[in-house]
Structure 1
Amino acid sequence: MNIRLLTASDAESYWELRVQALKQSPEAFLMTYEEELHQENPINKYAQTLQSESRYTYGVFNGEELIGVGTLQVEKPLKIRHKANILAMYVSQNHRGSSIGKTLMRHLIEKAKSLELEQLHLTVVSNNHTAEKLYSSLGFCRYGLEEKALKLNEQYWDEEHMVLFL
């Protein structure tokens, strides 16, 4: 297993894993599978996103295969520059249960510390007990619940807001 910062050259692999994530765990992401498939030039979009100065997207590789991703998005406005958000965490279903998610989260936390950030924020769908347990085990604490945060086809999902003070 190898973890590294993704670059524009990883855009196609990232997009393929993202499509898989949206199909497998639709409640865990803001965009839908259909929206993702109907984007114009999604690989070019992700190539640009992976080059952003305020986003650090790390990938976990099993050989050449991208099997997990997570993004650290640093805030830019002066008053909140001490914070970052963890976004788009996903480990492919075939590789869950082997501490890949925890290893990736630790990597993102260390990157945040190296940037001298003070707070990491994330949201997790409230019925995703496995992810919530992982985040809690790393020191994240729940500070709020947004009821009916997401809605798709008349189904709602609540989201827990969590923070880790570094």
Structure 2
Amino acid sequence: MADVEVRLGAVSERDAVALAGVVRELVAGGAALGWVEPPPVPEVVELLAGVTVLAVAFSGGEAIGFGYWRRYERPTHRMNADIEKLAISPKFQGMGVGRAVMSALIAAAEEAGIEVLTLDLRGDNVGAAALYESLGFRKYGVLERFVTFGARRYDKLLYARHLD
């Protein structure tokens, strides 16, 4: 694994801007992060500021990736949370950074008393699916041709990991 430190908590404005750059680079390369076009930096900075449980990976003091989860809002679902985003700089992919960020998120969820962590991903993201499965997530559903990217359609894969 790359020399990486993962920290939980809020990030500085400087680090948020760096992470916005990671998101923009990933989306420009076709990553499935919820945007079709690279989002404006202020939009990503605002998104990160509103996250309760954020794990950020740093290498040499530079923010290189992040992931976060949010509790479900409905009272009947509040014991569970959804991992909404995992974004790692392309320069650091395949080096264990995603695993380190996910492991920090899982540990934080266990500490918070979360019973089930869910996540979803685009069906063509086989590397992410393999990572999630190796961390104990199990696929529980598929929404066929649910994700639109230009003229292309992809399945949306639904995963969950029971922590209780």
Residue of structure 2 aligned with 1:50, choices 39, 48, 51: 48
TM-score (norm 1): 0.86
What is the percentage of aligned positions where both structures have the same residue?
23
Higher helix share: 1
Report the Cα distance in structure 2 between the residues aligned to 1:46 and 1:90, rounded to whole angstroms: 12
1:7 alignment partner in structure 2: 11
Q: Contact 2:57–2:63 at 8 Å: present in 1 too?
A: yes
Gaps spanning 5+ residues in structure 1: where? none
Query: Which residue pairs with 2:26 in the alignment?
Result: 21
Answer yes or no: is the 8 Å Cα contact 2:19–2:64 preserved in 1.
no
Match of 1:68 in 2: 65
State the alpha-carbon separation in 1 of the partners of residues 124 and 133 from structure 2: 14
Helix, strand or coil at the partner of 1:124: strand
Q: How does 1:24-39 map to 2 (within 5 A)?
A: 24-26=29-31, 28-34=32-38, 36-37=39-40
User: Partner amino acid for 1:7?
Assistant: V
**Aligned residue for 1:127?**
124
Deviates more, 1:58-67 or 1:111-120: 58-67
Structure 1 residues 121 and 128, CA gap change in structure 2 (3 angstroms): same
Partner SS for 2:84: strand
AA of the residue aligned to 2:111: S
Q: Offset of 1:48 from its aligned partner?
A: 4.0
Helix, strand or coil: the match of 1:148? Answer: strand
CA deviation map 1:88-137 (0-9, x unaligned): 21211211221111111110000101110000000111121111111001
SS in 2 for 1:80: coil
- 1: CA distance, partners of 2:152 / 2:44: 29
- The question of whether the paired residues in 2 share the 8 Å contact of 1:61 and 1:68 is answered with yes
Deviation at 1:152, TM superposition (A): 2.3
1:108 aligns with 2:100: no
Match of 2:115 in 1: 118
The answer to whether structure 1 residue 137 and structure 2 residue 134 are counterparts is yes
Amino acid at match of 2:34: L
- Deviation at residue 3 of structure 1 after TM alignment: 1.1
Distance 2:46 2:150 in 1: 31
Paired with 1:51 and 1:68, the residues of 2 have a C-alpha distance of: 15
2:85 is the alignment partner of 1:82? no
Q: Deviations over 1:22-75 (max 9, x none)?
A: 11233x1211225x14xxxx42x44443343x6322210111222111111112
